[in-house]
Amino acid sequence: MSDIRNVPATGADSGRRSRRPWAAAAVAGALVALLSGASAVTANSAGGGPAADGQSPAVRACDVPRPGEAACLAEVLPGSAPGSRTQAPAGYGPADLRSAYGLTAAVRAGAGKGRTVAIVDAFDAPTVEADLAVYRSTYGLPPCTTDNGCFRKVNQRGDTAPLPQPDAGWGVEISLDVQAVSALCPSCDILLVESDNANWDSLADGVDTAVRLGATTVSNSYGGPESDVTDNRSHGTGPDPVRAASYNHPGVPIVAAAGDAGFQLDALYPATLSTVTAVGGTTLKKSDTARGWSETAWATNYKGGAAGAGCSAHVAKPAWQHDRDCPNRTLTDISAVADPVTGLAVYDSIRDPNGPPAGWMKVGGTSASAPLVAAMYALAGHTEDVRDASRLYAHRDRLNDISGGSVSVPHSGQECPASSYLCTALRGYDGPTGLGTPDGLGAFAPVH
């Protein structure tokens, strides 16, 4: 296994921050569970369980970003990572996710073959292809390798070398993204574009490169406060965020995570762009319903983690969005599982002294829901006329309407009343889950 210790880089990326306080967070989560009388989450309870009266002690995979940088949105559940190279945790695998979203038949029919899901992330994950091989073999998926043409990894310029500096936190993010796509679209090709760093221009270059190299759809599991981007725009005039054009590629759906910090007055970019499909998050559990699954919004936990929601201060409301309380673009459009407690099984072999043990772990965040939705776009195909999320709004009756769960963060200074659809999952459209979650591929069909 690789051992990445974040040796300081040279040039523009020198002085990387110290790693996340993983061990401290894991202990804190266990103490909260103990004091509340609840059992700590382990890797042995299928689909996860409440760690503190329903509250997740998940910690972010990546460092807190510096000004001008995006944050990766993967969250790892302490206690879910046994460090095992052979035994997967109880996080959801491909069969679970396909069942939950009505995709089993489409996958069995080979949907997605010949289409490419691109993933744009920062820094390099040197073990990503080997880790993907472990994941796919564990779940009986066909190999996806450089040699067979299924997997390709390039830098932000589209070249196979040189690759960026490795980063263990973003490595977890990358593993989550490529494995989530594999879970729902094993017949899809995967293009991983690694930007030089987490700066906005570098990530935007990565999106443009992904489209230039033939991506069917592009997934972006990162974000930052809209004001940080607009206030620091390097070029352009007016209220448009820097490099907004890089997220506008008609015929190629651009998907972005809506965030993991609940309702925010300063909404998350690039999900706020009207050319992007903004993906929120749910808590997904097995049930005895006809569907076999139940979902609520990924609600605020004691650390403030929750599905992102908000109202743009800069991007005008698109013609296809009609909610009443936000005069501009509203987050989100659609959602899928994101709660780390009910997260995905992910394999990552990078040994990070201040991160999760190498091996299998349970990972969530809207970093999980975004690549899942990107994979669904590829499964459905016929993306030539996709310019934005309007297709989903035209087919809202083909989605699971989600109710229950507030993402207002107490004592944050930006609380939102539980009665408001902007921060609570209510019947119909709402901020945390948008129009709802996929029920098969009907919502991704062309509009006639």
Position 249 in a domain: yes
CA–CA gap between residue 42 and residue 380 (Å, rounded): 36
**Residue 84 has what pLDDT?**
64
Instruction: Give the total number of structural domains in the chain.
Output: 1
Say if CB 276 and CB 315 are below 8 A apart: no
Position 399 in a domain: yes
Assigned token pair, 132 = 């993907």
**Residue 83 has what pLDDT?**
58
Q: What is the DSSP letter of 320?
A: T
**Residue 302 has what pLDDT?**
72
Where are the alpha helices (H) located in 222-266, listed in sequence order?
Answer: 226-231
Position 9 in a domain: no
Position 7 in a domain: no
DSSP 401-414: -----B---TTSS-
Prior bond of 237 cis (ω within 30°): no
Position 1 in a domain: no
Say if CB 200 and CB 229 are below 8 A apart: yes
Position 12 in a domain: no
pTM of the shown model: 0.89
Rg (CA), the chain: 20
State the residue range of the domain holding 94.
Answer: 18-444
Residues in the chain with pLDDT < 50?
Answer: 1-19, 21-56, 234-240
Other beta carbons within 10 angstroms of residue 239's beta carbon come to 15
Position 355 in a domain: yes
CATH number at residue 301: 3.40.50.200
CA–CA gap between residue 393 and residue 322 (Å, rounded): 10
Which residue shows structure tokens 């499964």? 379
